Amino acid sequence: MGSIVNVILQRLGLGILVLFAVSLIIFLGVELLPGDLCQAIQGQAATESTVAACRRDLGLDQAAPVRYIHWLGNIAQGDFGTSLANGRKISELISVRLGNTFFLAAVAAVIAVPLSLALGILAALYRNSWFDRSINILTLSSISFPEFFVAYILILIFSVKLAWFPSLADVSPDTPFFERLHKVFLPALTLTLVVMAHMMRMTRAAIINLMASPYIEMAKFKGLSRAHIIMHHALPNAWAPIVNVVALNLAYLIVGVVIVEVVFVYPGLGQLIVDSVQKRDIPVVQACSIIFAATYVLLNLTADILSIATNPRLLHPR
């Protein structure tokens, strides 16, 4: 038990270091952007005194290291600053959008994870059959296309041709739960098709890899059915790589929604960051970027810890 706790503490420490490095990259990336932010805000007709006053208000007259420490300290306290576009607190803008992004990712995960595991088990059960080949072709084809292409194909089929689902996922805090599910089905299906191949193929590969183990051979000699062997002997020992790839794909579902949200005009964090880039609302872009980074690092740490918890041999590498 103590070894697992030590590993978790080590991973958390590494995660904090990674977040610190990411925050530095985000700040430097914004700092190195060409042009003057205040000049862009005030317009070409702005006088030097107006631009100087803007720089003082935004703290841009201070040295970059001072501004970075001040920005990092405010983030540690949960203060992301104020939006330049509308003067609202960034935390207020993000709270609703982040909830929408998490909802979309959760719906996609509820569809993708059970479906991928079931298809992976069936593909291993009927290895090299027409079912196995068909599922592999379908999943590899879906992951080979970019997200926006898959999204537009789904819109063409389910919105334009069949008129089953809306092409725009315009949800609001007042939208009822089942209506919200109906509106986010197409973006969730798009994300599902994109991430399903990784999880399905890892499940299939992990089970097939274990089927050549001696204890599996012994189970075969006992006359157990192939389905019983896979479900009760191979699958419990294949959880480590499966859990790892599932957690990594859940991380992608949250941080990889930008293109999908833009296509379906879904009011999530991805749409917010794109709108903020167009408006040169730098504080909002920085806040969204650090939240995406923190979410991705946290889910990667979760994947690492779960893979160790499901396979204790990783605690004692040779």
At residue 132, the pLDDT reads 77
Q: Which CATH number fits domain 90-315: 3.30.50.10, 3.40.50.720, 1.10.3720.10, 2.70.70.10?
A: 1.10.3720.10
Nearest to 196 by CA among 240, 238, 138, 236: 138
For the segment 56-71, the average pLDDT, to the nearest whole number, is 72
Q: What is the pLDDT of residue 95?
A: 80
The structural domains of the chain, with segments of one domain joined by +, span: 2-63, 90-315
Residue type for position 247: A
Whole-number pLDDT of residue 105: 84
Question: Is the four-CA dihedral 211, 215, 221, 224 of positive or negative sign?
Answer: negative
Say what the pLDDT of residue 317 is: 53
Write out pLDDT tens, residues 16-59.
888 888 888 887 877 776 666 665 666 666 666 676 776 666 66
- Distance, in Å, from the CA atom of 298 to the CA atom of 285, rounded to the nearest integer, reads 20
Comparing 28-42, 128-142, 195-209, the range with the smallest average pLDDT is 28-42
Q: Of 91-100, 145-154, 300-309, which range is least confident?
A: 300-309
When pLDDT is cut at 50, 70 and 90, the band that residue 108 belongs to is: confident
Task: Output the pLDDT for position 41.
Answer: 61
pLDDT tops 60 at residue 242: yes
Predicted TM-score of the model (pTM): 0.77
Percentage of the chain modeled with pLDDT above 90: 0
| Six token digits for residue 259 | 């293109």
Q: pLDDT higher for 283 or 313?
A: 283
Nearest Cα residue to 98 out of 302, 275, 273, 297:
273
Place of tokens 């599932």: 246
Question: Which of 21 and 235 is assigned the larger pLDDT?
Answer: 21
For 9, counting Cβ atoms within 10 Å of its Cβ (0-12 exposed, 13-18 middle, 19+ buried), the class is exposed
CB hemisphere CA count around 287 (13 angstroms): 27
Average pLDDT, the chain: 77
pLDDT class for 285, splitting at 50, 70, 90? Answer: confident
**Residue 134 predicted with pLDDT over 60:** yes
d(CA 284, CA 286): 5
Per-residue pLDDT for 84 more than 80?
no
Most confident of 55-69, 97-111, 300-314: 97-111
Number of residues assigned to the chain = 318
What would the mean pLDDT of 105-121 be, rounded to a whole number?
85
pLDDT of res. 43: 62
Locate tokens 């709270």: which residue? 95
Does residue 1 carry a pLDDT above 60? no
Residues above pLDDT 70, as percent of the chain? 77
**For 89, phi and psi rounded to 5 degrees?**
-65, 135
Instruction: Report whether 214 contacts 208 (CB < 8 A).
Output: no
Residues in Cβ contact with 160 at an 8 Å cutoff, skipping those fewer than 6 apart: 167
Tokens describing residue 48: 């030097």
316 φ/ψ angles, rounded to the nearest 5 degrees: -130, 65
